[in-house]
């Protein structure tokens, strides 16, 4: 706490003595500091009025004070002039925001204290320094508030973007389900098979699991050696996918080609999705293959059920099936895809 006792003439050169004893404390208002500082930066009352006029304060806001000084200069002090004008400016609200900024800028940037009365110079320097400190603190809090507000806006923007992205995902999942269900009406088996590949690859891509859509591997002579329906990535594991829509159940012959491809790719897992059921011999072949690699069997109906639940995760579904294959040696496992029941109110 700093105590300053000051004594000066009311107009800076003769007249009644003005004694002001005050304390600078953390709660000392900026306006009071300005009321004490601005009169000391000018030697005359006219100088105080000119200071405010230079800050853009309208002439009409000070006209009565000029007239009072002109009529009887001893009837009002420089400090009273400063107080009246600052109160009026403060009461002007947003309309006088520019003038308030100009006043603070001019006071905080004031450096030529030789223009002050000699007895005021030391006090004026101290007051200007204190005003600079207060402004800097206020600016710091303003910047903090602005940063916090910016962070809140950014978080709100990200939440909005996430909500919009989730809504788009749900809409796309609904569209994919309708397309997947509509494949049963297609009569051309080849076109239906290609359509199944496109729908399922789009579904895996929508959940961020697709690495590569259907592709062919050619031999050295240019002939097609392998046709891969899709490549999926889950938890750092590559999964080679096979998609089939046959009218008859998938037997050992249809399964064998997929198992052979996996035997030749150590570390790669397999996924076989079929619109028709799997025969028991085909399931048993897959079960025996679990000794060498992970193979997961799935039915299109499972995916139709999964897409009925907008909150169901394709990754969790595939993860549960892979766990059942590895731990329980069940290549064909159907996770519970029913939505959680809504609690009674």
Q: How is 183-236 classified by DSSP, letter by letter?
A: GGG---HHHHHHHHHHHHHHHHHHTT-EEEEEEEEE-TTS-EEEEEEEEEEETT
Q: What are the residues whose beta carbons fall under 8 Å from the beta carbon of 74, sequence distance 6 or more?
A: 10, 11, 15, 16
- pLDDT value for 189: 87
Same domain, 9 and 91: yes
Closest CA to 228 of 218, 237, 236, 240: 240
Same domain, 301 and 219: yes
Burial class of 89 by CB neighbour count within 10 A (0 to 12, 13 to 18, 19+): buried
Q: Which element (helix H / strand E) includes 78? A: helix 78-91
Closest CA to 100 of 50, 42, 31, 43: 31
- Among 97, 120, 146, where does a domain finish? 146
Classify residue 259: in a domain, yes or no: yes
Closest CA to 319 of 329, 333, 309: 333
Q: Which residues of the chain have pLDDT under 70?
A: 1-28, 137-144, 214-226, 337-345
Q: Rounded to the nearest 10 degrees, how much is the dihedral formed by the CA atoms of 295, 181, 198, 244? A: 40
- Among 146, 161, 176, where does a domain finish? 146
Same domain, 220 and 102: no
- pLDDT value for 146: 77
Classify residue 50: in a domain, yes or no: yes
What pTM was estimated for this model as a whole?
0.55
Q: Rounded to the nearest 10 degrees, how much is the dihedral formed by the CA atoms of 190, 193, 194, 195? A: 120
Distance separating alpha carbons of residues 181 and 253, to the nearest angstrom: 27
Classify residue 180: in a domain, yes or no: no
Same domain, 80 and 197: no
Same domain, 138 and 12: yes
- pLDDT value for 276: 93
Q: What are the residues whose beta carbons fall under 8 Å from the beta carbon of 282, sequence distance 6 or more?
A: 249, 250, 251, 252, 254, 255
Same domain, 197 and 315: yes
Distance separating alpha carbons of residues 327 and 329, to the nearest angstrom: 6
Determine the angle formed by the axes of helices 78-91 and 63-71, rounding to 10 degrees.
170
Same domain, 242 and 291: yes
Same domain, 237 and 295: yes
Kindly report the CATH number assigned to the domain that includes residue 218. 3.40.1350.10
Same domain, 81 and 139: yes
Classify residue 332: in a domain, yes or no: no
Classify residue 333: in a domain, yes or no: no
Same domain, 110 and 240: no
Question: Domain containing 307: what range?
Answer: 186-327
Which residue do the tokens 């002439």 mark? 59
Q: What are the residues whose beta carbons fall under 8 Å from the beta carbon of 9, sequence distance 6 or more?
A: 15, 16, 17, 18
Classify residue 27: in a domain, yes or no: yes
Quote the number of domains for the chain: 2
- pLDDT value for 229: 81
- pLDDT value for 311: 85
- pLDDT value for 13: 38
Classify residue 161: in a domain, yes or no: no
Same domain, 141 and 20: yes
Which residue do the tokens 């002001």 mark? 20
Same domain, 203 and 319: yes
Classify residue 339: in a domain, yes or no: no
């Amino acid at each position: 706490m700093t105590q300053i006792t000051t004594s000066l003439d009311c107009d800076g050169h003769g007249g009644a003595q003005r004694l002001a004893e005050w304390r600078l404390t953390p709660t000392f208002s900026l306006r009071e500091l300005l009321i004490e500082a601005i009169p000391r930066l000018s030697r005359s009352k006219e100088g105080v009025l000119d200071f405010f006029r230079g800050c853009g304060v309208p002439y009409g806001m000070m006209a009565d004070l000029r007239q009072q000084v002109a009529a009887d200069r001893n009837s009002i002090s420089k400090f009273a002039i400063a107080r009246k004008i600052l109160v009026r400016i403060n009461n002007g609200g947003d309309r006088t925001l520019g003038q308030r900024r100009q006043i603070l800028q001019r006071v905080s940037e004031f450096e030529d204290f030789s223009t002050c009365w000699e007895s005021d110079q030391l006090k004026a320097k101290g007051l200007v320094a204190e005003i600079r400190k207060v402004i800097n603190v206020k600016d710091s809090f303003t910047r903090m508030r602005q940063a916090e507000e910016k962070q809140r806006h950014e978080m709100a923007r990200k939440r909005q973007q996430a909500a919009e992205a989730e809504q788009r995902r749900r809409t796309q999942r609904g569209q994919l389900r309708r397309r997947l269900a509509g494949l049963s009406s297609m009569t051309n088996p080849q076109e239906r098979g290609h359509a199944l590949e496109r729908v399922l690859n789009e579904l895996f891509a929508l959940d961020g699991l697709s690495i590569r859509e259907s592709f062919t591997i050619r031999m050295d002579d240019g002939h097609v050696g392998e046709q891969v329906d899709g490549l999926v990535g889950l938890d750092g594991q590559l999964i080679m996918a096979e998609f089939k829509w046959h009218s008859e159940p998938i037997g050992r012959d249809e399964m064998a080609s997929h198992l052979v491809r996996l035997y030749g790719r150590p570390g790669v897992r397999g996924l076989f999705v079929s619109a028709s059921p799997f025969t028991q011999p085909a399931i048993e072949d897959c079960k025996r293959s679990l000794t060498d690699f992970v193979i997961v069997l799935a039915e299109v109906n499972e995916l139709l059920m999964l897409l009925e639940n907008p909150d169901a995760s394709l990754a969790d579904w595939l993860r549960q099936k892979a766990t059942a294959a590895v731990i329980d040696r069940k290549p064909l496992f159907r996770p519970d895809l029913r939505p959680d029941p809504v609690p009674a109110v």
